[in-house]
Amino acid sequence: MEIMKNILLIENDQSTVKQILEALNSESYSFDFAESGVNGYSMALRKLPDVIICDKNLFQNEFELNISSWREDTFLSSIPFIFLLEKDSSKFENYQTSQLDYFIQKPFQSKEFEKILRLAVAKFDSIKKKSDEKLNQLRGSISFLLPHEFFTPLNGILGFSDFLIKDLDNLSKDEILEMLGYIRKDANRLKKLTENFVTFAQLELIERDQTKLDALRNSYFLNPAEAIISVGKKIAQRTGREEDISIEIENSAIRMSEEFLNKMVLEIVDNSFKFSSKGTVVNVNLMANDSSVMIEISDNGIGMTTEEIASIGAYMQFNRLKLEQQGSGLGLIIAKKIAELHGGIFKLESVVGEGTKVSIIFDN
C-alpha cells in the first residue's frame, strides 16, 4: 500500500491553488495550506511535509525570510522545494543557476507539474532512505559499543571487589593496593564514558534549541591560554608523558564558553596521546590574527584512514581492533560537535603511519 505524501502549499493566489489541486487530484497526496512565508515556516516545523510548494514572490516580499534560513534548520534541511515562478524569461534564467530544488513557471500544464512533484517526492524518499541507513548504522554501533564499553570496566570493578571481599585476609598490603588501583582505573573509565554520553546528549538538545544555540554562539572566553595549557599538561601527566607535549599559545579571546573549550581540547589532546607512542610529541598551538583564532593539535601517531575520518558522527571507534584502545570513540565526535555548535570550523587531516592534525577555526 502506497503511503500518502504530505504537501505543504504556500501560496496566496487562489487560482494557482485551484490549478495545483486539480493537477494533483490523487489519493497519493494530502495538503496543508499557508498564505505567507511566515505562516508556512511555522506550519512546516509542525507538519514536516514531504515536499514544500511555494510562490517565490512570497520570499522576496517578506524580507525576514530567505531560503537559506530554511535550509539551515535541522528539521527542514532535507525537504525538497518546488518554487512557483512568474513567467518572466530573464528571471527564469537566473533561477536555473541557483541552488533551489525545483522550479516551474506559471501557468503550467498539469502533467508537467505532477512530473516535477514526483521527482521531488523521489528525492525526499532517497534522502530519507539514506538517513534511515545512517540511523540504523548508528543504532548498530551503539548496541555493539554499549555492552562492551560499560560492562568491561564494570566487570573489572566487580571482579576485583569480590576478590578483595573473599580473600582479604590472605592478601598483602601491596596486593590490596594493586587491586584498588585497578578498581579506581576502571571506575574512572566508566565515569568518563558516562560523562561523554551525557555530554553528547546535551549537545544534541542544544542543537535543536535555537535560544540555547544563540546563547552558546554569543559566548566569549577572554583568557583561553591558561585553560589550554592546564588541560594539555594534565593529560600529559596522567599518561606519564610530561616530556612529550609542546604548547605554543598566543593569548586571544575566543568565541567559546570556558566549559566547552576545556572539554573540546581535552578530548582531542587525549586522543592524540592515546594513539601515539611515548617519546613522540603532541603539539598544542593557539594562533590568532585580526580576523580569526585557530586551535591546532597534532601528533605523530598511527593516523587514521579516510574511512575512519568519514565515520566521525556515527559513534565509530577508531582502530580498536588494531590497538585495543579503551574508549567509546565519542571523543572526536564530541569535539567536532562542540566546535560547530559554537560556529567554528572543524578540520581533521590524517595520514596512516604519520599522524593526525586537528584544526578548529573561529571568527573573531
The domain 132-208 is classified under which CATH number: 3.40.50.2300, 1.10.287.130, 3.30.9.10, 3.40.50.300? 1.10.287.130
Residue 147, pLDDT score:
56
Short-list 263, 1, 280, 312, CA closest to 137: 312
The answer to whether residues 356 and 348 touch, using CB atoms and an 8 Å cutoff, is yes
**Can you say how many angstroms the Cα of residue 58 is from the centroid of all Cα atoms in its chain?**
32
Which range among 22-31, 244-253, 257-266 shows the weakest confidence by mean pLDDT? 22-31
Inform me whether the pLDDT recorded for 59 exceeds 70.
no
Residue 216, pLDDT score:
85
Tell me the whole-structure pTM to 2 decimals: 0.56
Instruction: Indicate the pLDDT class of residue 272, thresholds 50, 70 and 90.
Output: very high
Inform me whether the pLDDT recorded for 265 exceeds 90.
yes
Inform me whether the pLDDT recorded for 332 exceeds 80.
yes
Per-residue pLDDT tens over the stretch 222-239: 888 899 999 999 999 988
- What percent of the chain has pLDDT above 90? 20
**Architecture of the 212-363 domain:** 2-Layer Sandwich (3.30)
Instruction: Indicate the pLDDT class of residue 15, thresholds 50, 70 and 90.
Output: confident
Residue 270, pLDDT score:
92
Residue 140, pLDDT score:
53
Segment 99-108 long-range contacts (CB within 8 Å, at least 24 positions apart)? 99/67, 100/67, 103/56, 106/16, 107/19, 108/19, 108/23
Mean pLDDT of the chain: 79
Instruction: Indicate the pLDDT class of residue 98, thresholds 50, 70 and 90.
Output: very low
d(CA 134, CA 310): 12
Instruction: Judge residue 72's burial from the number of C-beta atoms within 10 Å of its C-beta, 0-12 exposed, 13-18 middle, 19 or more buried.
Output: exposed
Alpha carbon distances (Å) from 121 to 53, 55, 240 = 12, 18, 57
Which range among 13-22, 104-113, 256-265, 312-321 shows the weakest confidence by mean pLDDT? 312-321
Per-residue pLDDT tens over the stretch 171-210: 899 999 999 999 998 898 888 888 888 888 888 888 878 8
Per-residue pLDDT tens over the stretch 297-309: 999 998 877 667 6
Mean pLDDT of 215-223: 85
Inform me whether the pLDDT recorded for 295 exceeds 90.
yes
**What fold, for 5-108?**
Rossmann fold (3.40.50)
Residue 73, pLDDT score:
56
Inform me whether the pLDDT recorded for 27 exceeds 80.
no
Inform me whether the pLDDT recorded for 142 exceeds 70.
no
Inform me whether the pLDDT recorded for 286 exceeds 90.
yes
Residue 177, pLDDT score:
93
Domain residue ranges of the chain, discontinuous segments joined by +: 5-108, 132-208, 212-363
Inform me whether the pLDDT recorded for 316 exceeds 80.
no
Instruction: Indicate the pLDDT class of residue 322, thresholds 50, 70 and 90.
Output: very low
Instruction: Indicate the pLDDT class of residue 325, thresholds 50, 70 and 90.
Output: very low
**What cell does 238 get?**
596522567
How many other CB atoms sit within 10 Å of the CB of residue 67? 17
d(CA 280, CA 271): 14
